[in-house]
Structure 1
């Protein structure tokens, strides 16, 4: 049976998967990777551990699936009609993720490594951000089609600069993110002709 994902949530399996994902991320935030066990996740999620093992052979692939598939870490890709407004909406969601009561502990645990072996941490972060970029890419495709960005623009660089500003402020400096921060960051990053 294929591992349930956020893209297919109907039926018993995906509902169980969502509970498993939530439990996995909660326990990661509380205990770190070393303290994360399949048994604890099963108990927290209210499922049998054989259910988890049927879909994920160990905690590394389980955590990978939880980071990519959990609803709590989902983003809604906006389509406002302008690149600037789309990027502000995306930035506000990033702010919510790194400052939210449920999500900030998870983000901090992953950002700090939380006891993950370096190779697993690298794989997790690479795949998480690749998944998010694939979801956000239509924002830039539409912007190029509207003439807001040149065809050779590097959308990943724009996203890195925008998200990096949020992560630096909220996580690394532990500073509050003031109202209007998303718009200020987007306007600082976008070419002047686009932020006007």
Structure 2
């Protein structure tokens, strides 16, 4: 099995590569359309700004290619957010795979933004979470979030409930970083590779 990790200068590649390596997965960092199109699995990592991420993807002519993929695709953090319809971060029009508009966490006394650290996930409704217990902790780093929507397959709170993960057809997204989420995250990545 070959995994294409999309290279668009927005990813936390070291941690993701280490996580895939621990699972014995063969992967390549690439923006080559043919390699991505022919991969068995595709991962769109993401760290940083959604508007910049979309600009980089468009410059590489990747959004239309990603939309047409019929293999399992996983977007992580900003990678998930740019798969939504729109992001308030930089007022970015995004890919529109997931039916959600990404919003900034509101200013609430006592609630830190960005949301950084370990939080529980619940309402797990996908093969992506096979063997994962409700209330398991995963690692988040984000100031923007996808509200609950028809594509929500896991939730978390900060302080209100929001989408911790999304799914539409063969597309999956996690707001948290499975590659930084210890044994739970490793199981989620393994589940993605086995879907």
How would you bin the TM-score normalised by the shorter chain?
A: under 0.3
Q: Select the structure that is richer in helix.
A: 1
TM-score normalized by the length of structure 2: 0.24
Structure showing the higher strand proportion among its residues: 2
For normalisation by structure 1, the TM-score amounts to 0.24
RCO greater where, 1 or 2, for CA within 8 Å and sep 6 or more?
1
Which is greater in Rg?
1
